[in-house]
Structure 1
């Protein structure tokens, strides 16, 4: 019985060695190694905008500050929905309540009131209408607005175009190096992708006061999407 158990253990221990021996080994580079880092880039018009908008209120008590804030925020959200912004594009990002202090020399700080804040992240799927919605926000009571951030809603197909361009650029440069060195490309050894760059983002707008704005406009402009790749070639 002991001999049978020992045989089973020995057979089990030998399995990894057999499996690893069957794994194909990567072919070593026999010629000259060439590493290329290339970037592919495409340009497009952003089709989605997002902003941070909120209400900041102050009152002598915490309850009063929160109550006024909730009332004004409800009016703000109602204005967004009336303007056609879908529920999925309105998201609460933060709610805050802080005491306000009065400071005097050689005296402990004294609470003079409370400040309540409620912030939303709002996405606009029709960038051309974003300016009108901003005006509606301020008219409804929003007194803190930052943004916009412009982006491409579904960049996958564009990023694939950038990848194709990056590989084409890497191959063209490898051909150039090989020709200059009197060699030719034998094969591509490896390809790895770096991070993609969505392009520069707009500078956030300053917080706005609660007066009504007139005909605010947002220009979508152009955005660059780029992908970098690292390609290793073997030259001969």
Structure 2
């Protein structure tokens, strides 16, 4: 009889161990919450990247080139007082090509026209130079386009980090709120992902005075950042 009783005891012990094996891991697994955080920093640009083009046309390539050279000489003389404040200055980019003009009369042959151009590029870290330089370019007759993408801040990297720090802090604050609603506390970070980049977004376009074509307001920019994070709930 004793020998027959040992087998049921062994079965009860095995069932108990199996129950513990299934229960303990489930108790050890902490709850988790996944949420997003967003942050942004607003600022006004303090720098600009500018590009101007001197161009001229003539039937003879040499004449077109000479006209561009004359425009460049006027430009260089006009910006003498600002030259030391122009960063990464370059004006050696020269282009010469020939285009065909349509005949004005049916019996006329199309005419060839030489087009010469020279590009000037640089950046400024003082926006008070912007309007004087634009006026110099207008006086010489240089072509240019001024858009919001040409303005930036010299400390944008620091601002990108600040926007990211605010996004992380926002995620932590949301985690604490969720945990408090569940009578728990926000624990360690399990995973965190940074969503997208930190490209500055113009809040408004650069405004120009219609009569003199000078900039009166650059406008604000906003750097945005977001994160997706998973936290333990203790």
TM-score normalised to structure 1 length: 0.70
How has the CA–CA distance of structure 1 residues 44 and 205 changed in structure 2, closer, same or farther, with 3 Å as cutoff?
closer
In structure 2, the residue matched to 1:233 is: 231
> Shift in Å at residue 114 of structure 1?
1.1
How has the CA–CA distance of structure 1 residues 56 and 205 changed in structure 2, closer, same or farther, with 3 Å as cutoff?
farther
Matching of residues 14-93 of structure 1 within 5 Å: 30-86=29-85, 88-92=87-91
Q: Deviations over 1:50-103 (max 9, x none)?
A: 222111111111222122112212322332333345353423485322312123
How has the CA–CA distance of structure 1 residues 201 and 221 changed in structure 2, closer, same or farther, with 3 Å as cutoff?
closer
Distance 1:158 1:169 in 2: 16
How has the CA–CA distance of structure 1 residues 214 and 200 changed in structure 2, closer, same or farther, with 3 Å as cutoff?
closer
In structure 1, the residue matched to 2:130 is: 130
> Shift in Å at residue 115 of structure 1?
1.2
Q: Does 1:191 align with 2:189?
A: no
8 Å contact 1:85–1:124 — kept in the other structure? no
How has the CA–CA distance of structure 1 residues 110 and 218 changed in structure 2, closer, same or farther, with 3 Å as cutoff?
same
Distance 1:201 1:186 in 2: 37
Distance 1:81 1:234 in 2: 63
Unaligned runs of 5+ in 1: 1-28, 207-212
How has the CA–CA distance of structure 1 residues 118 and 36 changed in structure 2, closer, same or farther, with 3 Å as cutoff?
farther
> Shift in Å at residue 180 of structure 1?
4.2
How has the CA–CA distance of structure 1 residues 35 and 88 changed in structure 2, closer, same or farther, with 3 Å as cutoff?
same
Distance 1:109 1:40 in 2: 64
8 Å contact 2:64–2:116 — kept in the other structure? yes
Q: CA RMSD, aligned part only?
A: 3.3
In structure 2, the residue matched to 1:114 is: 114
> Shift in Å at residue 125 of structure 1?
1.8
* Higher-Rg member (1/2): 2
Distance 1:35 1:70 in 2: 63
> Shift in Å at residue 160 of structure 1?
2.7
Unaligned runs of 5+ in 2: 1-27
How has the CA–CA distance of structure 1 residues 120 and 84 changed in structure 2, closer, same or farther, with 3 Å as cutoff?
closer
8 Å contact 2:204–2:220 — kept in the other structure? no
Distance 1:121 1:110 in 2: 35
8 Å contact 1:99–1:111 — kept in the other structure? no
Distance 2:183 2:93 in 1: 62
> Match of 1:90, SS?
strand
Moved more, 117-126 or 172-181: 172-181
Give the total of aligned pairs. 202
Distance 1:93 1:235 in 2: 62
TM-score normalised to structure 2 length: 0.71
In structure 2, the residue matched to 1:216 is: 214
